[in-house]
Structures are given as structure tokens and as C-alpha cells.
């Protein structure tokens, strides 16, 4: 095997796409999926690659410093792609401690294990990489100073559909000051700072990327898009927070995975790259498109389910607008989103409707029982 890489959080939404991409694209790499299998981790996400000879699953908590250190020694690990995290903002508002534990202390355990192991080798940090996956939420929120929308200064394949607007003239850049608002984004911001500190203090080769909202198959149905597709199918209310006017910048998950692959191999150590689609949507516009797309694919009259929209109390501290400027990544490494948003959304709705069994097991908690029996208590 030419490389030995730990991917943390590989049983989750984005992690499973990254693991699949690496296992299929690099048969000469050993890919170790390290995941605790929390409620969000599901090995069914990786059924198609679980028997590949270059793939191994290890059930482990990223806070288990000794376990990680030993695994790195045993597997001669030279790269870490770190996605494991508590990832849902609403949960962080109810239970911030779990977020600090996993996102901050877990990241620190990984960093320290990698430091001790790599520094013990004759070649030290040469050929090593600690790649930390972060979020645009660490930058806080952007002003919505054009609520009706303006022609955006950028355009990509993701934003090339009918809807093509920006809702402000500011964008998150790699140089934007951190200003997190939720316990989730505060914990991610803290972990990003630890990663940079390991570069600056010990010389560890590190990269941090900050990505916008992902969508696509295998996303846990607590997040907006899969939750709403499932509710539309069952004709259940769609809880829209506040006035539904918050703006998010959406990227198809496989485009994020492709960016991670490119940056892991070609990115410059110590650098930060922002990843996004230049694809801003007000929640309510996205939800209407989602309802119409789902209705059409279910054979219902388009728009028949618009009456499911139910405005509910806003999320506390709800960030108004996220919009990423990913031109550094495009300029330096030639990355571009491959899917137009309407195409990606239709592909996504189709996947959830065709994989009802996945949705049912995930929402019934059946898979959690199964993995508890297989691997013991979490």
C-alpha cells in the first residue's frame, strides 16, 4: 500500500462519500474509516465498498487518544482526513457539552496522537498531512443588504440554473475574521484554531477547509433537505424556522468530496481553502423548489404539497446569510462544482424516494440497535 490514511467520521454523511471516493479511486491506499457510530454514523452508507481489500472500519471515539496513537503505529498512518464531529446546530443548542467534547477535545486527541507518532519516525513530518474539515459557520453571518437579490459577482456550474442571485455584497473569504454564534460553530472554530496551532508550534503539515451547506444522498434526516423530503412523502408539516428568509449556499456532497481529494493531494500545507457553490438560496425558495420537485417525482400535481409549509419559532441565534467565495480554490487548484443545483436537487430527491428502506431504518433507530448489538454500547 502506497499510503495509509485514517478518515474520521467516514460512516457519516460527507465522510461516507469521501471514503467511497478514496477506496474506489486509490486501490493502492489503505483507507481506515475511524468512526464511533453515534446516531449519525451508519455503516449502511458504505455497503457497496465494505468488502474492498483496501478498506477497513475501526469503531473508535476520536477522544480515545491512546487508541488512536496505537492505531497510527499499527497501520503506519501517514495522513488523516478529519470529518468526525457533532454536526447539527439545533442539537448543539440543547447539548453544547457533547459538541465541545467531540469537536474540540476529539480534534485535540487526534492532533496529539499524530504529533507523537509522526515525530517518532526518522523522517518526521515529511510526507504527512493532517487535513481538517471545517465549516463556513465559523465566520458567523453575513449581512443581507440586498434582500431582493442582485446579480452575483461570480457564477459556477452550481449556480447556473434559473435562480442566480446574491443577497448581499459580502462573501466569506479565507481572510474573514472568525465570529461563530452557535455552540456548534464555536466548537468548530476552536478545533480549527488547534489545528493551526499544531502547524505553527510543532511544524505539523496541516490544511483546514471551510465548506458551505452540503446536500445529497445519505444525509441524516434531521437536516433541512432530507427531513423535508421525508415529510413531504408522508404529507407531514414542514417546520420552516422564522420567516424562511435565511440564506444558505448549497453544494452537492460529491463535489465537496472531489474538492477534499484535490486539496489533500495538491493543497499547500498550512493553507486554508474555502469550498462553496456560489449558489445562494433563501430557505423558502429552496423549500418551494424541493416541494415541486418531490411532488413531480411522486406523480402528484406540482405544488400540491405547498400547504405543508408551517412557519415555526425561529432557531435561537439563527445566522442570516452564508455565502462562500471559493475563488482561491478555483484559481489555485482548478476545482469547480460539477452539478447545477436543480439537477443535484432532483438527483437527491430521487435517491431518497428510491431508498425508503434506508430512511425507515435511520428514522426507526433500528440501525442503532443493530450496531449496538454488533459493536457493544457506544
Q: What is the set of active-site residues?
A: 136-137, 184
Q: Could you say which of ligand NAD, ligand DAU, none residue 35 binds, taking C-beta under 5 to 8 angstroms by partner kind?
A: ligand NAD
Residue 277's nearest CA partner among 223, 215, 189, 346 is 215
Q: Does 210 bind ligand DAU (CB under 6 A)?
A: no
Decide whether 83 or 345 has the Cβ nearer to ligand NAD: 83
Q: Could you say which of ligand DAU, ligand NAD, none residue 240 binds, taking C-beta under 5 to 8 angstroms by partner kind?
A: ligand DAU
Q: Could you say which of ligand DAU, ligand NAD, none residue 45 binds, taking C-beta under 5 to 8 angstroms by partner kind?
A: none
Q: Does 88 bind ligand DAU (CB under 6 A)?
A: yes
Distance between CA atoms of residues 369 and 361, nearest Å: 10
Q: Does 239 bind ligand DAU (CB under 6 A)?
A: yes
State whether the Cα torsion 281-284-290-292 is positive or negative. Answer: negative
Order across the sheet with 3-8: list the strands.
55-59, 29-35, 3-8, 79-82, 129-135, 206-211, 272-275
Decide whether 37 or 114 has the Cβ nearer to ligand NAD: 37
In Å, what is the CA distance from 113 to each residue of 19, 64, 187, 283? 21, 10, 20, 41
Interaction residues for ligand DAU, span 296-355 (CB under 6 A): 315, 322
Among 144, 193, 227, 359, binds ligand DAU (CB under 6 A): 227
Decide whether 89 or 186 has the Cβ nearer to ligand DAU: 89
Among 26, 154, 241, 370, binds ligand DAU (CB under 6 A): 241
Decide whether 166 or 275 has the Cβ nearer to ligand NAD: 275
Shortest spacing between CB 223 and ligand NAD, in angstroms: 7
Shortest spacing between CB 229 and ligand NAD, in angstroms: 16
Distance between CA atoms of residues 21 and 32, nearest Å: 13
Shortest spacing between CB 282 and ligand DAU, in angstroms: 9
Among 32, 77, 224, 257, binds ligand DAU (CB under 6 A): 224
Q: Does 212 bind ligand DAU (CB under 6 A)?
A: yes
> Which residues, other chains included, contact 57 with Cβ-Cβ below 8 Å and sequence gap of 6+?
10, 11, 32, 33, 35, 43, 46, 50
Decide whether 4 or 42 has the Cβ nearer to ligand DAU: 42
Write out the residues near ligand NAD by the rule CB under 6 A.
8-9, 11-15, 35-38, 40-41, 61-63, 83-87, 102, 106, 133, 135, 188, 211, 213-214, 220
Decide whether 308 or 362 has the Cβ nearer to ligand NAD: 362
Degrees to nearest 5, angle at CA 251 with 248 and 257: 140
Q: Could you say which of ligand NAD, ligand DAU, none residue 37 binds, taking C-beta under 5 to 8 angstroms by partner kind?
A: ligand NAD
Shortest spacing between CB 111 and ligand DAU, in angstroms: 20
x/- mask, ligand DAU, residues 16-55, rule CB under 6 A, reads ----------------------------------------
Per CB under 6 A, the segment of 40-48, 194-202, 222-230, 329-337 that binds ligand DAU is: 222-230
Interaction residues for ligand DAU, span 103-162 (CB under 6 A): 135-137
Per CB under 6 A, the segment of 92-100, 166-174, 196-204, 241-249 that binds ligand DAU is: 241-249
Give the footprint of ligand DAU on this chain (CB under 6 A). Answer: 87-89, 135-137, 212-213, 223-224, 227, 239-241, 246, 248, 283, 315, 322
Amino acid at each position: 500500500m502506497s499510503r495509509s490514511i485514517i478518515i474520521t467520521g467516514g460512516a457519516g454523511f460527507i465522510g461516507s462519500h469521501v471514503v467511497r471516493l478514496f477506496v474506489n479511486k486509490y486501490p493502492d491506499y489503505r483507507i481506515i474509516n475511524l468512526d464511533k457510530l453515534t446516531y449519525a454514523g451508519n455503516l449502511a452508507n458504505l455497503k457497496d465498498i465494505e468488502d474492498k481489500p483496501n478498506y477497513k472500519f475501526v469503531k473508535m471515539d476520536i477522544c480515545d487518544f491512546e487508541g488512536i496513537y496505537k492505531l497510527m503505529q499499527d497501520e503506519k498512518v501517514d495522513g488523516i482526513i478529519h470529518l468526525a464531529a457533532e454536526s447539527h446546530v439545533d442539537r448543539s443548542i440543547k447539548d453544547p457539552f457533547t459538541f465541545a467534547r467531540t469537536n474540540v477535545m476529539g480534534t485535540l486527541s487526534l492532533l496529539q496522537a499524530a504529533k507523537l507518532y509522526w515525530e517518532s519516525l526518522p523522517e518526521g513530518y515529511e510526507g504527512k498531512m493532517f487535513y481538517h474539515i471545517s465549516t463556513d459557520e465559523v465566520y458567523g453571518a453575513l449581512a443581507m443588504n440586498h434582500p431582493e437579490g442582485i446579480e452575483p459577482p461570480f457564477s459556477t456550474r452550481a449556480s447556473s440554473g434559473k435562480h442566480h442571485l446574491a443577497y448581499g455584497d459580502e462573501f466569506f473569504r479565507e481572510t474573514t475574521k472568525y465570529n461563530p454564534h452557535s455552540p456548534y460553530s464555536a466548537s468548530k472554530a476552536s478545533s480549527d484554531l488547534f489545528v493551526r496551532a499544531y502547524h505553527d508550534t510543532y511544524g505539523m503539515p496541516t490544511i483546514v477547509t471551510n465548506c458551505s451547506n452540503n446536500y445529497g444522498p445519505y444525509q441524516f434526516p434531521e437536516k433541512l433537505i432530507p427531513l423535508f423530503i421525508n415529510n413531504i412523502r408522508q404529507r407531514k408539516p414542514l417546520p420552516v424556522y422564522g420567516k424562511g428568509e435565511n440564506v444558505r449556499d448549497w453544494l452537492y456532497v460529491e463535489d465537496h468530496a472531489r474538492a477534499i481529494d484535490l486539496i489533500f493531494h495538491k493543497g499547500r500545507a498550512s493553507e486554508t481553502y474555502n469550498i462553496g457553490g456560489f449558489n445562494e438560496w433563501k430557505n423558502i425558495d429552496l423549500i418551494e423548489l424541493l416541494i415541486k420537485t418531490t411532488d413531480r417525482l411522486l406523480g402528484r400535481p406540482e405544488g400540491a404539497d405547498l400547504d405543508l409549509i408551517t412557519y415555526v419559532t425561529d432557531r435561537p441565534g439563527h445566522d442570516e446569510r452564508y455565502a462562500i467565495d471559493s475563488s482561491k480554490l478555483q484559481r489555485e487548484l482548478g476545482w469547480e462544482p460539477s452539478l447545477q443545483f436543480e439537477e443535484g436537487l432532483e438527483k437527491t430527491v430521487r435517491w431518497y424516494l428510491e431508498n425508503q428502506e434506508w430512511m425507515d431504518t435511520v428514522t426507526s433507530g433500528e440501525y442503532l440497535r443493530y450496531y449496538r448489538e454488533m459493536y457493544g454500547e457506544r
